[in-house]
Amino acid sequence: MTNSMAHSRARRNPADGRAPVSRAAAAIGVIFLIVGVLGFIPGITTNFGDLYFAGHESTAKLFGVFQVSVLHNIVHVAFGVAGLALAATVSAARAFLVGGGAIYLVLWLYGLIVYHSTGAANFIPVNGADNWLHLGLGIGMIALGLATTRVAARR
């Protein structure tokens, strides 16, 4: 016998018929799409004239805080599209959240290593705010992917 409360996380919501992990992946996907598009809007992105395709030379900052480039914004849009597409099934949604979280933890480590470097490895503009955001996204996405697909242990 299993505890019905433990299974409630894996059950579909009667209101929309979607599993919590699918709703979470779709929500994260929408957020990434919005952030990616906002990165191309002058005013929301400060120093817009200094928005380069790639590289640490881009001094454009989303919301005046997060260093971005055209490539960075395109990746956000693509990541958002992937989140929406992978939200279609429970297993794909979980893979998006956990795998995407792992990718962001790798980006956090990358940012720590190349933060002040000017070499060829520094092709993604990142600053301290980006590093903290990547760490939070990595931990948050993995936690969300695991928490929304937790299954009750069999007795």
- 3-state DSSP: the chain helix, strand, coil percent, rounded to 5? 55, 5, 40
Digit-coded pLDDT (tens) for 55-102: 777 888 999 999 888 998 999 999 999 999 999 999 999 999 999 999
Mean pLDDT in residue range 106-112: 89
What is the chain's mean pLDDT, rounded?
Answer: 84
Q: Which amino acid is at 23?
A: R
Determine which of 1-15, 96-110, 121-135 has the lowest per-residue pLDDT on average. Answer: 1-15
Strand partners, 61: 46, 67
Token pair, residue 128, equals 């301290």
Q: What percent of the chain has pLDDT over 90?
A: 55
Q: Is the pLDDT of residue 8 over 70?
A: no
Q: Is the pLDDT of residue 40 over 90?
A: yes
Place of tokens 């060829």: 120
Closest CA to 137 of 80, 85, 91: 80
* Number of separate helices (H) and strands (E) present in the chain: 5, 3
Ramachandran angles phi, psi of 67, nearest 5°:
-65, 130
Closest CA to 108 of 141, 147, 62, 63: 141
Coil, strand or helix: which one is 126?
A: coil
Per-residue pLDDT at 12: 56
Closest CA to 19 of 86, 77, 103, 82: 86
Closest CA to 138 of 93, 95, 108, 96: 108
Q: What percent of the chain has pLDDT over 70?
A: 81
Per-residue pLDDT at 155: 44
Per-residue pLDDT at 41: 94
